Amino acid sequence: MKFHKVEGGITAAQGFLAAGTHCGIKKNKRDLALVFSETPSAAAGVYTQNRVQAAPVIVSREHLVGGLARAILCNSGSANACTGEQGLHDARRMTELAAKALGIAAKEIVVASTGVIGEYLPMEVLEKGIPEIAGQLSRDGGREAAEAIMTTDLALKECAFRLVIGGQSVTVGGMAKGSGMIYPNMATMLAFITTDAAIAPELLAKALRYTVNRSYNLITVDGNTSTNDMAVALANGAAGNQTIITESEDYHRFLALLQRVNTELAQKIVRDGEGATKFIELTVKRAPSYAAGKVMAMGILNSTLVKTAFFGADANWGRILSAMGQTDIEFYPERVDVFLGELQVARAGQGLRFDEARAKEILKNKDIKLTVDLKMGGETVTAWGTDLSHDYVSINASYRS
Amino acid sequence: MKFHKVEGGITAAQGFLAAGTHCGIKKNKRDLALVFSETPSAAAGVYTQNRVQAAPVIVSREHLVGGLARAILCNSGSANACTGEQGLHDARRMTELAAKALGIAAKEIVVASTGVIGEYLPMEVLEKGIPEIAGQLSRDGGREAAEAIMTTDLALKECAFRLVIGGQSVTVGGMAKGSGMIYPNMATMLAFITTDAAIAPELLAKALRYTVNRSYNLITVDGNTSTNDMAVALANGAAGNQTIITESEDYHRFLALLQRVNTELAQKIVRDGEGATKFIELTVKRAPSYAAGKVMAMGILNSTLVKTAFFGADANWGRILSAMGQTDIEFYPERVDVFLGELQVARAGQGLRFDEARAKEILKNKDIKLTVDLKMGGETVTAWGTDLSHDYVSINASYRS
């Protein structure tokens, strides 16, 4: 399929407005984002599987039960997690404030928060900030909204792609945040997707879950699953395509388009991983199942020893095999081949006398392709991760204070 | 029970000799250790659960099937892991060389290796070194043996304790190595234990497994389980106690003594964790089961975000709850209390307005006690871990090269 990359992100699709402002949760930076659909939208969400769930995750899940929503309100600077009844009250109050300002029902608002865990939201600044941001919505506000959801992120994350579906040009765009505490588990960091496709809520939910599993759920920065992970998609039908109500060819085209956007955003999160100096694309070949290949990929990408070896540009492939052996997946170590880029460093579980200078050269690149061939089954899984650097330690030794 | 701490380690018990030398695997440091019992000994081992198992682990397991052994031969500098048939051949050859020099059967030798994964042993230096070290065995050689099994360890690890059992003074002593790649899984890093207790091999094995589960299996430095983990105990009966053949009072006294030694060695490994600036003793209270409490303890101690917060002396308790929520243990976040030393920082899953200066003071100590109360069941689990520092990254970015 030929996707057409377009400018912008969360407002690239027709009928969506956004804004991003500084309301006062953070000292200087933008800390509040609002996304709004001019017409009613189908909506779906996927949430963190962490047992500790932030208040906005609980409230947004309640609101999305019916598969409809028109706005997404997100603050950065405070996660509103581990805040008990007060936190739930605050999250609900945020939706009420936005509903009043937008002239819609509170139930039509998705609410999200990201930042420090365990602190209460400064509601006084939100009481003032939410009505204000509602007056700033525009077709050009996508970039500022994407900026307002950042925490330790150094790079703003947005993208959009277009594809003809059912004879109409359909756009899917989105924005995401995430840099540390990244190991999405059946969920994601914050990712917000808008589309002008016309699609039934239950199929939007199905497509979102499928593509999240094959994008955000295939990345890791540090093996830590957040309490606030959430991916939400709104589809307002403004493209005018015939509404997708079955798993037709149109559905599969939409699925591919949504996948394209989610994969792009997921990779942007890894590229901006806290302290990361490398972007590692790991392909596990001939896995016995997709699930097994994924567990193995994550076992490798989460190993602190594998990650520090990449940081040091050291072709320490023994650590890769050891990390694989530590997972609960049955495999045959004596079959495994390991490749750094095109350079094979291990065959049938044993080291080759490879060219160390060539390996060093490959490992000094920012983008590194790593391939592990299990020689067992027919599934291939590609996942993305980072190295572990001094900067990761520095960033996280002083995040709260 | 009143344990008497005694000098030395692996040769503290009667009838054991040892030596540690430099044979040429490493450039300058000691790299070969030998432990020998003057008389036949009951013997037992516990091994890594990593699916990738080093050649010496496979050979030692074969040798210990009958519950008898008289010597332990261990090299550092090369792990002899991921080395295929050649590696197995080399491990067997090491036992043959030692057997010939000691005048015993190869089957009576336990062999172990530790160091870089994926390189072949330099057998030419071992062909020469093993006969030489056999001539250097002495009652005073324990310390040099403990030195010879070190890799990135900065501290030598040995200890011994004594207890009256069945009317006789029984000694258990041991040595261990380990600093990185520490997350023993139903096994341990290298730990070698000798005792002059008279005990049946099957009860020695049972006691070893039990105490390993409550010592080495309760520690983590970096969440990476090694391919070469092994704990081996030799019991030669030289103390003259009536042989322990049932789970009698004597057995339980021996078990307590063995636990004392294993706990001490396990804590020494954590204290010497790669790059560690903190020694964290975590107690999980009122867990629904011992197993659940252990999973939760390890979830907390393995979180890079919890570890970097400790490195930065930052009382970021929200990361502790998030790490707990990421495990697959069911619990009630809204019940959880968290204490740093005596200072309570969270109650019923929510933050308290605690004294930040006091928290900082506690977190600036090298030894930190952390308590998490689940308020669910009656089990208490205490486990040990470290922080994650810049030095850990530096050490592991350049270990192989």
The percent of residues in chain A predicted with pLDDT above 90, rounded, is 82
Confidence class of residue A188 from pLDDT cuts 50, 70 and 90? low
Least confident window among A237-251, B209-223, B279-293? B209-223
Q: How many CA atoms lie within 13 A of A233 on its CB side?
A: 35
Q: What is the mean pLDDT of residues B264-292?
A: 93
Confidence class of residue A400 from pLDDT cuts 50, 70 and 90? low
Q: Tokens in use for A242?
A: 């015939």
Q: How far apart are CA A280 and CA A387, in angstroms?
A: 8
Q: Does B364 touch chain A (CB under 8 A)?
A: no
Closest Cβ–Cβ partner in A83, A309, A322 for B396:
A309
Residue B249 pLDDT: 93
Q: What is the pLDDT of residues A206-243, one digit of tens each?
A: 999 999 988 998 888 888 888 888 889 999 999 999 99
Which are the contacts of B399, defined by CB distance < 8 A and separation ≥ 6? A309, A312, A314, A316, B116, B152, B180
Whether residue A132 is predicted with pLDDT greater than 70 in this model: the reply is yes
Q: Does B312 touch chain A (CB under 8 A)?
A: yes
Q: What is the pLDDT of residues A304-316, one digit of tens each?
A: 999 999 999 999 9
Whether residue B42 is predicted with pLDDT greater than 60 in this model: the reply is yes
Residue A5 pLDDT: 92
Residue A1 pLDDT: 79
Which residue numbers of B are catalytic? 188
Least confident window among A368-377, B153-162, B175-184, B271-280? B175-184
Choose from A220, A274, A308 for mutation: most chain B CBs within 10 A. A308
- Please tell me whether residues B260 and B364 are part of one structural domain: no
Q: Does A316 touch chain B (CB under 8 A)?
A: yes
What is the domain-level CATH number for residue A330?
A: 3.10.20.340
A399 contacts in B (CB within 8 Å)? Answer: 309, 312, 314, 316
- Please tell me whether residues A203 and A221 are part of one structural domain: yes
Whether residue B392 is predicted with pLDDT greater than 80 in this model: the reply is yes
Closest Cβ–Cβ partner in B118, B327, B399 for A351:
B118
Cβ neighbourhood burial of A73 (10 Å; 0-12, 13-18, 19+):
buried
Q: What is the pLDDT of residues A278-289, one digit of tens each?
A: 999 999 999 999
Q: b/e per residue, B136-166, with b = 16+ CB within 10 A?
A: ebeeebbbbbbbbbbbbbeebbbbbbbbebb
Residue B189 pLDDT: 77
Percentages helix, strand, coil for chain A, rounded to the nearest 5? 35, 30, 35
Among B309, B267, B256, which Cα is nearest to B3's? B256
Inter-chain touch B224–A323, beta carbons under 8 Å: yes
Q: Does A242 touch chain B (CB under 8 A)?
A: no
- Please tell me whether residues B237 and B324 are part of one structural domain: no
pLDDT averaged over every residue in chain B: 93
Inter-chain touch A322–B227, beta carbons under 8 Å: yes
Inter-chain touch A397–B316, beta carbons under 8 Å: no
Q: What is the mean pLDDT of residues A358-386?
A: 95
Confidence class of residue B226 from pLDDT cuts 50, 70 and 90? confident
Choose from A319, A322, A335 for mutation: most chain B CBs within 10 A. A322
- Please tell me whether residues A76 and A108 are part of one structural domain: yes
Q: How far is the alpha carbon of A21 from chain B, nearest alpha carbon, in Å?
A: 27
Higher-pLDDT residue of A11 and A229 is A11
- Please tell me whether residues B266 and B299 are part of one structural domain: no
Q: Which of B251, B271, B291 is the last residue of a domain?
A: B271
Residue B70 pLDDT: 94
Q: What are the residue ranges of helices labelled H in B214-289?
A: 249-271
Number of domains within chain B: 2
Residue A275 pLDDT: 92
Residue B186 pLDDT: 59
Name the pTM for this structure. Answer: 0.85
Provide the chain B residues 105-124 that lie in CB contact (below 8 A) with chain A: 116-119
Q: What is the mean pLDDT of residues A338-343?
A: 97
Higher-pLDDT residue of A183 and B289 is B289
Q: How far is the alpha carbon of A308 from chain B, nearest alpha carbon, in Å?
A: 5
Q: What is the pLDDT of residues A55-105, one digit of tens each?
A: 999 999 999 999 999 999 999 999 999 999 999 999 999 999 999 999 999
Q: How far apart are CA A346 and CA A359, in angstroms?
A: 12
CB B335 within 8 A of CB B376: yes
Closest Cβ–Cβ partner in A82, A326, A400 for B321:
A82
Which are the contacts of B85, defined by CB distance < 8 A and separation ≥ 6? none
Q: Does B371 touch chain A (CB under 8 A)?
A: no
- Please tell me whether residues A45 and A151 are part of one structural domain: yes
- Residue B61 β-bridge partners: none
Helix B390-397 × helix A390-397 angle, to 10°: 170
- Residue A367 β-bridge partners: A279
Residue A304 pLDDT: 94
Confidence class of residue B225 from pLDDT cuts 50, 70 and 90? confident
B321 contacts in A (CB within 8 Å)? Answer: 52, 82, 117-118, 227
Residue A16 pLDDT: 94
- Please tell me whether residues B125 and B246 are part of one structural domain: yes
Q: Which of B221, B236, B271 is the last residue of a domain?
A: B271
Residue A183 pLDDT: 82
Q: Which residue of B has its CA nearest to A331?
A: B51
- Please tell me whether residues B296 and B259 are part of one structural domain: no
- Please tell me whether residues B285 and B384 are part of one structural domain: yes
Confidence class of residue B247 from pLDDT cuts 50, 70 and 90? very high
Q: What is the interface size between A and B, counted as CB pairs within 8 Å?
A: 216
Whether residue B181 is predicted with pLDDT greater than 70 in this model: the reply is yes
Q: Which of A271, A290, A310 is the last residue of a domain?
A: A271
- Please tell me whether residues B205 and B289 are part of one structural domain: no
Confidence class of residue B171 from pLDDT cuts 50, 70 and 90? very high
Residue A186 pLDDT: 60
Among B140, B116, B153, which Cα is nearest to B268's? B153
Residue A189 pLDDT: 77
Helix, strand or coil, per DSSP, at residue A335 = helix
Confidence class of residue A401 from pLDDT cuts 50, 70 and 90? low
B227 contacts in A (CB within 8 Å)? Answer: 318, 321-322, 325
Q: What is the pLDDT of residues A134-168, one digit of tens each?
A: 999 999 999 999 999 998 899 999 999 999 998 99
pLDDT averaged over every residue in chain A: 93
Helix A84-102 × helix A123-134 angle, to 10°: 20
A316 contacts in B (CB within 8 Å)? Answer: 116-117, 399-400
- Please tell me whether residues A283 and A369 are part of one structural domain: yes
The domain containing residue B301 runs over which residues?
279-397
- Please tell me whether residues B37 and B163 are part of one structural domain: yes
Q: Does B304 touch chain A (CB under 8 A)?
A: yes
Closest Cβ–Cβ partner in B183, B185, B317 for A118:
B317
